[in-house]
Chains A and B, each alone.
Chain A
Amino acid sequence: MISFGASVAGPGHLRDGLPNQDAWAHAALGGGRVVVVADGLGSKPNAAVGSAAACDAVAEAVRIWLRHQGASRDVLLGLIHLLWRARVEPLSPDSAATTCLFAFMRADGSGLLGQLGDGLVLVLCDGHVRPHQLRSDDDFTNRTRALGVTRQLAGWNVAVLEPGERTVILCTDGVSDDLLESKHLEFAEWMNGEIASLPPGPRWRRLAHELRHWPTPHHIDDKTIALLRSQE
């Protein structure tokens, strides 16, 4: 399996001397891998703490969940909320609110996707790409869903990955808001081919360079992309 990612502070935070409020992480767990991206809500004072905590919480939650055969998806999501809360205390949850997108995949390609809040999950399989959650055209914003804000597990968008060779790409909204929907397949193939084929060091530098030199005018957001693939 292969997983990688990169996260850079956006021009807005660089200008204001603030840290990157996005975070990402990947870990090998139970014969599979988990990848997480999180976007601390820009208006929250502890957003950077919250997004980093989300990455740790998801990895630990999946690790615990895998130990308990038969535990439901709701148990996993509940664990993510509780472990995230444990990591951000004594800060108030609202002050550290963050989106959370994750993918857990076994070597055979089976696994689970979860998304709470803005961002994009793309699944590339057999030459086709599908978004895990299509942006709602009737919804100018999905900002209200986040760890620290959402109290209902129904706020999550969760999907099962069936066995098969596939690639999952996770993006925070600093990336997804400017990605053309008509180019999702080409973007996923670019990540899965040109970027994924590089050795780890040059790959990270190339991806970070692309994110720092984002081509859309007036972009301000922090930007994070991560990829998880079931085969080398």
Chain B
Amino acid sequence: MPLKSFTASTARPLPVLILADTSGSMSAEGKIDALNVALVDMVDAFSEEGDGRAQIHVGVVTFGGTASEHLPLDAASGVSLQPLPASGMTPMGAAFDIVRGIVEDKDQISSRAYTPAIVLVSDGQPNDAWEPALQRLLGSERAKKAQRFALGIGEDADAGVLRRFLDDPEGKVYAANDARDIKSFFRWVTMSVTTRSRSATPDASVVADFPPTDLDELL
């Protein structure tokens, strides 16, 4: 009997979950268009990663009007990302609960998976019960170990909420003022994830060393 009868037929996944603000305000000043372009570039870059020890998986949860799973978590190489529309309010708390459910679901993220990365992008303030939802996320045995990134878009972004999401005194909330900044942020996230994927220890957090502007330095 060959050994492959007992072994996994796919590489260990490295899950990347995008938590994207798709509220109505994101439609202003081309923000949602820039986010869509940046996400497609990121997924394309992940799908071309063939040398790493991990297979990068991508999922997108949106919160605009309602929170929903826009793109179920799957291998980046097989993903077809549809453009995110922007409308409605900012139910970030509901999105936190969806992400927590995905991370805790061992059918979606198996015990073989490397530590997931969660990327939060928002241009405003949440308008639902986000605090208990964030506490549930950060209290989850699996989710609290995730590598986390946060991007605030524009002047109305709530840096305090984003900082609490990071839950790391050394973590940085990054700022984007235009489409170029959004693209830079996602290029940085892409570099950080692919560096992990190629490293000898993908479970160790790696942050690429050319971060975009730190929001803390601007405020």
Same assembly: yes
Of the candidates B4, B54, B201, the one whose C-beta lies within 8 Å of that of A215 is B4
Of the candidates A12, A135, A138, A179, the one whose C-beta lies within 8 Å of that of B7 is A179
What 0/1 readout, one digit per residue, does chain A (205-232) give for beta carbons within 8 Å of chain B? 0000010011111111100000000000
Within the assembled complex, what's the spacing in Å between the Cα atoms of A138 and B10? 21
Q: What is the interface residue range for chain A against chain B?
A: 20 to 34
B218 within 8 A of A: no
A-B contact count (CB 8 A): 83
Known: A42-B201, A137-B106, A138-B141. A214 touches B3 (CB 8 A): yes
* Contact across chains for A219 and B3 when beta carbons are under 8 A apart: no
B28 within 8 A of A: no
A162 within 8 A of B: no
Chain B residues near A177: list those with CB within 8 A.
12, 112
Of B11, B54, B111, B145, the most chain A CB neighbours within 10 A belong to B111
Which B residues are within 8 Å of any A CB, using their own CB?
A: 1-12, 52-55, 106, 111-116, 141-142, 145, 200-201, 203-204
- Sample 17 A-B pairs with CB under 8 A, ordered by A number: A42-B201, A43-B201, A137-B106, A137-B111, A138-B141, A138-B142, A140-B145, A141-B115, A141-B203, A143-B203, A179-B6, A180-B7, A190-B3, A210-B3, A216-B8, A216-B9, A218-B52
Given A140-B203, A178-B7, 18 further pairs, Cβ under 8 A: A12-B53, A12-B200, A136-B111, A137-B111, A140-B145, A178-B8, A179-B6, A179-B8, A180-B8, A181-B111, A183-B6, A186-B5, A190-B1, A190-B6, A210-B3, A214-B7, A215-B2, A219-B11
